Chain A
């Protein structure tokens, strides 16, 4: 998994790196375009193009049949059954390419999430750092200390919540910077990245965890916490990033999917792909 994360991470970071100083829409558009090209090619290679074309032709033929024989109930019902059957055939023909594409798509989405899901803290703002404890550890009994990089400070004592096996700190961003938070419990430590300010589009990792498989897939932003770490996960609550479009606030994922689909349909003829 680390190798896969590394490869996908490098690719996505390389694509987005030139857009760091620009508003997020530019990077997102580029990512959508490249994703659609990749998916078109993957679709072309892994799908039975003839079967898809055949299924679509049959749907069109049955639609025409319905229109021509609208006064004949038997013919209409037969046409509808034909449309249903052709639809199922179309879906079946899509299963294989979808199964192939879903894996890289999830990995790409997880990497894109680092760039578009959260915004770095603004200098002067406060947020929470939440540490989830492993097992049945009692937060009051564990002498956990949070150390911040010089551009941030702890602005309130920790709240130790036994019910939730959680310790929460409030930190304040003092200036722009990139660095690491260090959590200490005796001689054991765990680290988590912290991002304050910086370019308009920049990578933000909200969570570091011990590294279960789903966590490694969904939170690929930093290496897993060591097994001997005093905590199960450390999370920084960064503000959600919303994209502004025509006076509306749009979630990046919705914008990404719409753009990718639009690019896919726009370019399918160029690449000779039947979707």
Chain B
């Protein structure tokens, strides 16, 4: 059957703390009394709870507060609290914004400028936040590769995190699923990795879909899904669950686990057998977590866990299997600091979602899960987060507790279309059922705040923030197509424009600019890019100003609106040691607009502007002023328009910790 939650067991360290005299009896139970404290050289009487509610929009929050639908937010204000729209990052993308908060610097300091950066050596898009390298020295024995050193996963974010600063000052902290904190920054504080934590394949999440009527999937950078065309023979399905590539083999094959599904000849029910474990699922039913083990060599395995969803038994067989999450009981990659924290949570709660953003937006986008099924899955994420928040609040007695919820962000991305009749993907039938999802989700975030307020003492500072607001994503802008049409980019084979991807058709010797990522435009600069042609200095500066001016002047012939409100010249807006790595122009879109689906990875569709017909319909790539986040606190704000970095300084300020020189914000909590 599915995995069950296990009661807390006593770890070795906890046992030693309890004392040898009580060893026999203690080894038999009573673990809860010996929970270790979070790190801190000096005890502090001060307490602060920070809730990170990704994507909560100030306009919607205010509206639903006024309508009495967010009682905890209202209570916070009634208790002498304060509310401000929170200045977000440029661009207001999740990894950028949370990096601003983590480090107290803008992207010029922390060097995360976009979800996607590019390698100037080959113009190839790369993920901005982490870098994974294999073992530097290996020995080959036949077809087996023996690594002589370990591989590394490295965070590319620069700067000290605020909980490292607190650690230096002896203030204990628990930081729960902070986005982009993967791999977890080195610290003795208690932290659990958040967004960017991969699945066992090292991707941002690849689901598997087994069916005898396979659809075509829209593939995504770093994630998405895989369709397995299976046959139902004698009421039995034979299939394989893909796992990580086996780097111990010279040919690096993909590991797989065979499994069988036995269908009842009449009932809409099936038994699944995988690695000796069996469970029964009815149609439209989720399994609990199922643990799996991918064997690499006899002594090395990767442990993961996944959820099965039997979507349909007949007439068509449809089985969804979630991305295989890293098993927190035996993590193949770093999940927490200290390492034991992830295991401690597993002992308390059983298996839990470890992949960065667990909601499977890709499965909904591709119709593999429908709206209700997607919400069922995301509700599991929410319920789990709520239980873990309650657990952490229950033992929170000093220092800082940061806790993150991803649900509002993910659901607004997917359900905005059903609140916006002007959206190209609006469907009235679906809107009747799911038009209230976003409002209900805000209510769920309110419930989390209510939980925190209920446990917060009179002297506990409570801060609620979101990284950005939200808006409809109706129209997509093909930046590379615009550059091409305006003579800034050149193709080798213009007649193959629409098929171009990853700049495979670009004539770099004649291209002066290109777009990579969701908001970023780069000049093809001599000495920086592999085949750069624009001289740094006045030539480049003039080109940047010229392109920025033209982008800002662009109007959408369909709506008459300006898609780009502001084209920011990065040198003018960023500060810090890493401004040199920044894109040359950062696009600040207008409400309703965003970069298109093809342009970020070097595609050149025919049209400059196109309707967004996809389910991913809400977004936040706008100019920062358009989509601020929220800042609520049970204290007054001393600034009219605080920004993310100010809240970093404020967290340090609550504990009387001096902010490092490179942090740019100001303490705004009265």
Contacts and interface: CB of A to CB of B under 8 A. Distances in A.
A157 B15 contact: no
B42 to A, nearest CB: 29
Interface stretch (B52-60, B262-270, B567-575, B651-659): B262-270
A247 B280 contact: no
How many A residues touch the partner, as a band?
A: 20 to 34
A154 B424 CA distance: 46
Interface centre among A158, A161, A163, A245 (most CB of B within 10 A): A161
Nearest to B278: A128
A157 B9 contact: no
Interface string A125-162: 11110000000000010000000000000001111111
B279 A128 contact: yes
Interface string B1-36: 110100001111111000000001001110000000
B226 to A, nearest CB: 26
Nearest to A24: B28
B29 A159 contact: no
A1 interface: no
Given A26-B28, A237-B1, A247 B267 contact: no
B271 interface: yes
B236 interface: yes
A216 to B, nearest CB: 25
B271 A161 contact: yes
Given A23-B28, A128-B279, A159 B269 contact: yes
Contact of B280 (A25, A125, A156, A162): A156
Nearest to B14: A247
A164 B262 CA distance: 10
Contacts of A78: none
A187 to B, nearest CB: 23
A102 B171 CA distance: 61
Contacts of A125: 1, 4
A247 B269 contact: no
A247 B28 contact: no
A167 to B, nearest CB: 9
Contact of A249 (B2, B4, B9, B271): B9
Contacts of B14: 247
A222 interface: no
Given A158-B264, A168-B280, A126 B2 contact: yes
Interface string A94-132: 000000000000000000000000000010011110000
B235 A156 contact: no
A169 B282 CA distance: 11
B394 interface: no
Contact of A163 (B11, B27, B28, B234): B234
Contacts of A84: none
B15 A126 contact: no
A249 B236 CA distance: 36
Interface string B221-263: 0000000000000111000000000000000000000000011
Contacts of A170: 1, 279-280
A248 interface: yes
Contact of B262 (A156, A157, A159): A159
Nearest to A157: B267
Interface in A222-272: 237, 239, 244-249
Contacts of A160: 264-265
Contacts of B262: 159, 161, 163-164
Contacts of A156: 269, 280-282, 285
B3 to A, nearest CB: 10
Given A161-B262, A161-B271, A163-B234, A248 B28 contact: no
A162 B234 contact: yes
B269 A157 contact: yes
Given A157-B264, A247-B10, A239 B4 contact: yes
How many B residues touch the partner, as a band?
A: 20 to 34
B27 A245 contact: yes
Interface in B173-229: none
A159 B10 contact: no
A161 B280 CA distance: 12
Interface in A37-51: none
Contacts of A247: 9-15
A246 B15 contact: yes
B500 to A, nearest CB: 50
Interface centre among A140, A160, A169, A247 (most CB of B within 10 A): A247
B354 to A, nearest CB: 21
A272 B287 CA distance: 58
B270 A159 contact: yes
Given A157-B267, A168-B271, A168-B280, A126 B1 contact: yes
A260 B266 CA distance: 52
Interface string A156-197: 111111111000111000000000000000000000000000
A163 B282 CA distance: 20
B27 A168 contact: no
Nearest to B271: A159
Contacts of A24: 28
Nearest to B29: A23
A66 B271 CA distance: 63
Contacts of A164: 262
A140 B235 CA distance: 12
A25 B27 contact: yes
Contacts of A239: 4
A127 to B, nearest CB: 5
Contacts of B28: 22-26, 244
Given A128-B280, A140-B265, A156-B280, A246 B4 contact: no
A25 B25 CA distance: 9
Contacts of B264: 157-160
B280 A248 contact: no
A128 B9 CA distance: 26
Nearest to B343: A247
B1 to A, nearest CB: 5
A162 B9 CA distance: 42
Contacts of B278: 128, 168, 237
Nearest to B13: A247
B395 to A, nearest CB: 19
A19 B280 CA distance: 35
Contacts of A158: 264, 267, 269
A59 to B, nearest CB: 36
Interface in A61-90: none
A121 to B, nearest CB: 9
28 contacts: A23-B28, A23-B29, A25-B27, A125-B4, A126-B1, A127-B1, A128-B271, A128-B279, A140-B266, A156-B282, A156-B285, A158-B264, A159-B263, A159-B269, A159-B271, A168-B271, A237-B1, A239-B4, A244-B27, A244-B28, A245-B27, A246-B12, A246-B27, A247-B9, A247-B11, A247-B12, A247-B13, A247-B14
Interface of A: 22-26, 122, 125-128, 140, 156-164, 168-170, 237, 239, 244-249
Interface of B: 1-2, 4, 9-15, 24, 27-29, 234-236, 262-271, 278-282, 285
Given A24-B28, A162-B265, 7 more contacts: A22-B28, A25-B28, A125-B1, A128-B280, A159-B270, A160-B265, A248-B12
Q: Which 6 A-B pairs have the closest CB atoms?
A: A23-B28, A247-B12, A157-B267, A170-B280, A247-B11, A159-B271
